[in-house]
């Protein structure tokens, strides 16, 4: 059993963890899920409202280096292998995603130990339909192995055509969907996650 520590004004109840939106997070004692080049990260989530003071709300964050510079830029530094998943509310710009007709998105950001990177957005509701997700629980899953990266929503594999990307990216290096990471850029081996995310 791994110890979970709650930080900030969050609480745990019969429906899961509730965040008040101000500096809340939970830490889990080290889990050696990346000791092989195959791992999955999944969770259930629901959204009642969007934080008024934030463009992104982190859902999952695991970084080789955890130096926070206040800008969030550390998750895009090629020398910092990481897996990050965060929510971009439609009301705060939807993460400035170019996903077709997207409202809010979940952005997946991955960097391996060789600096290979991929960042892609999964739209969780259509534009103007935020209430569609306030009444349900959503199950998201990221699956990584030596030759592929895939995401699943509600048990269904997300197709490449459903993804969007940060519209103002300065480099195409980060505009890679899971299919591109797995098949069109085999040099982006995720094997270094094994050693750098411990």
* Domain enclosing residue 172, as ranges: 32-196
Q: Do both 20 and 47 map to the same domain?
A: no
Q: Do both 163 and 190 map to the same domain?
A: yes
Q: Do both 86 and 161 map to the same domain?
A: yes
pLDDT digit string (tens) for the chain, length 198 residues: 677 788 888 888 887 777 776 778 777 776 666 566 788 889 998 888 887 777 888 888 888 776 665 656 677 777 778 889 998 888 888 888 887 677 889 999 888 777 777 888 999 887 678 777 778 888 999 998 877 888 999 999 998 888 888 887 766 555 555 655 543 333 333 333 333 333
Q: Do both 20 and 107 map to the same domain?
A: no
In the block, residue with structure tokens 């459903």: 162
Task: Specify the number of domains making up the chain.
Answer: 2
Q: Do both 12 and 65 map to the same domain?
A: no
């Amino acid at each position: 059993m791994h110890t979970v520590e709650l930080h900030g004004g969050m609480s745990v109840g019969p429906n899961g963890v509730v965040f008040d939106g101000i500096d809340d997070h939970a830490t889990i004692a080290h889990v050696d899920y990346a000791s092989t080049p195959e791992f999955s990260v999944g969770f259930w989530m629901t959204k009642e409202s969007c934080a008024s003071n934030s463009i992104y709300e982190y859902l999952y964050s695991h970084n080789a280096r955890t130096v926070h510079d206040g800008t969030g830029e550390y998750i895009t530094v090629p020398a910092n292998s990481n897996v990050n998943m965060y929510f971009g509310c439609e009301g705060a710009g939807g993460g400035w995603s170019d996903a077709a007709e997207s409202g809010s998105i979940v952005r997946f950001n991955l960097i391996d130990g060789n600096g290979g990177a991929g960042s892609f957005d999964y739209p969780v509701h259509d534009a103007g339909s935020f209430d569609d997700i306030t009444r349900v629980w959503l199950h998201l899953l990221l699956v990584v192995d030596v030759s592929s990266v895939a995401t699943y929503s509600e048990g269904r594999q997300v197709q490449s055509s459903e993804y969007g990307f940060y519209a103002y990216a300065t480099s195409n290096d980060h505009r890679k969907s899971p299919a591109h990471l797995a098949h069109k850029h085999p040099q982006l081996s995720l094997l270094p996650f094994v050693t750098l995310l411990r």
